Structure 1
Amino acid sequence: MTQTKVNARDIIFEVAEADGTTWHRVEHLKSVVRNPSENEAVAETTDYDSEGAYEEEVMQRGSSLTITGDEMEDDTTGVAPVGRARIEALAGEDALGSDSLGKVRFRSPRSSQWNVWTCTVRLSENGGETNVKRSWGATVRKCGKTVKVAVS
């Protein structure tokens, strides 16, 4: 079996509509970075018999994805692309309690399975200086375990 390095730019990242079955690609991303240790919690288990060495056990696992790009809008309507608009809705002021939960999925182009997360979303700071495009981004934080779903 030949191993191939995966291009970061080739990641496929999608967000689900509220119905959980309609998916939209989040397009024109410049960066997708996964932090597999986000929201990890540990219990320190060091005691007198540890001989001065730190000990711990993981009590909770978490993960997050930070996505970034340039802010985009339709030339005529000013509306954001559908996938980005859904990300923004999940981070909206009224998205509280169970309404703050959404679903995203991601994979590499050759993968036969999607990684599906129930998640919450936080929008990143946006803006820029004189000679740059305005930035856009969000951090998606996993809630619960990753579900693997076959690509259809």
Structure 2
Amino acid sequence: MSRPIDARGWLFEVEDIDAPDETWLPIAGITTFTHNPGENEETVETTAFESEGQFEQDVMQRGATLTIEGQYRIDKTTKAQDPGQAYIDHEWTQRLGMESRNRVRWRHQTQTQWVLWDSTVTPGEQGGGNNDKTSWSCTVTRCGRAESMAVAG
């Protein structure tokens, strides 16, 4: 018998490409995410007379995005922004051209494989009202094929 999984069980990490060794930074404060596996898809219509009035198409390009939203987080003692959020906000989003790509990975806590993307990032809006916590978000756009990585340990 299958059961649905809890959305709060998803884990998201960004790779710190400036670290001397492979270093993955968890992204804290996430309250919602949206994986759109059809974003940036391009198709071409292939309908012809022999299609007998039925639409036909071929997919010419695949794409995907991952939007992560939540709360802007800081360390209570040092007041430093969450390392994963800070890396995205202050390192990754500042890069242009060939330097604009970075890797992200995510999985549900019940899974034994990470989804791994080479990607670009677009920073999201931050804000809040009188009785709100400050929001934080970003949208990651996959570049190339998705890969997978075994969960270590």
In the other structure, the counterpart of 2:7 is 8
Deviation at 1:130, TM superposition (A): 2.5
How many residues align? The count is 149
Q: Please say if 1:44 is aligned against 2:45.
A: yes
Q: Please say if 1:126 is aligned against 2:133.
A: no
Instruction: Give the RMSD, CA atoms, in angstroms.
Output: 1.7
Deviation at 1:12, TM superposition (A): 0.8
Q: Please say if 1:90 is aligned against 2:92.
A: yes
Q: What are the ranges of 5 or more consecutive residues in structure 2 without an aligned counterpart?
A: none
2:5 partner amino acid: V
Q: Check conservation: 2:28, 2:73, Cα contact below 8 A.
A: no
- After superposition, the C-alpha distances for 1:72-91 in whole angstroms (9 at most, x for unaligned) are 23456543110011111211
- Separation in structure 1 between the aligned mates of residue 40 and residue 125 of structure 2, nearest angstrom: 21
**Which secondary structure does the structure 2 equivalent of 1:90 belong to?**
helix
Runs of 4+ in 1 over 6 A off after TM superposition: none
Q: Check conservation: 2:105, 2:116, Cα contact below 8 A.
A: yes
2:127 partner amino acid: G
Q: Check conservation: 2:29, 2:72, Cα contact below 8 A.
A: no
**Which secondary structure does the structure 2 equivalent of 1:115 belong to?**
strand
Q: Give the TM-score normalised by structure 1.
A: 0.89
Q: Please say if 1:143 is aligned against 2:143.
A: yes
Q: What are the ranges of 5 or more consecutive residues in structure 1 without an aligned counterpart?
A: none
- After superposition, the C-alpha distances for 1:118-146 in whole angstroms (9 at most, x for unaligned) are 01000112212222222110001111111
- Separation in structure 2 between the aligned mates of residue 129 and residue 27 of structure 1, nearest angstrom: 21
Matches within 5 A, 1:19-38: 19=19, 21-38=22-39
- Separation in structure 2 between the aligned mates of residue 53 and residue 130 of structure 1, nearest angstrom: 55
In the other structure, the counterpart of 2:82 is 81
Percent identity of the aligned residues?
A: 39
Q: Give the TM-score normalised by structure 2.
A: 0.89
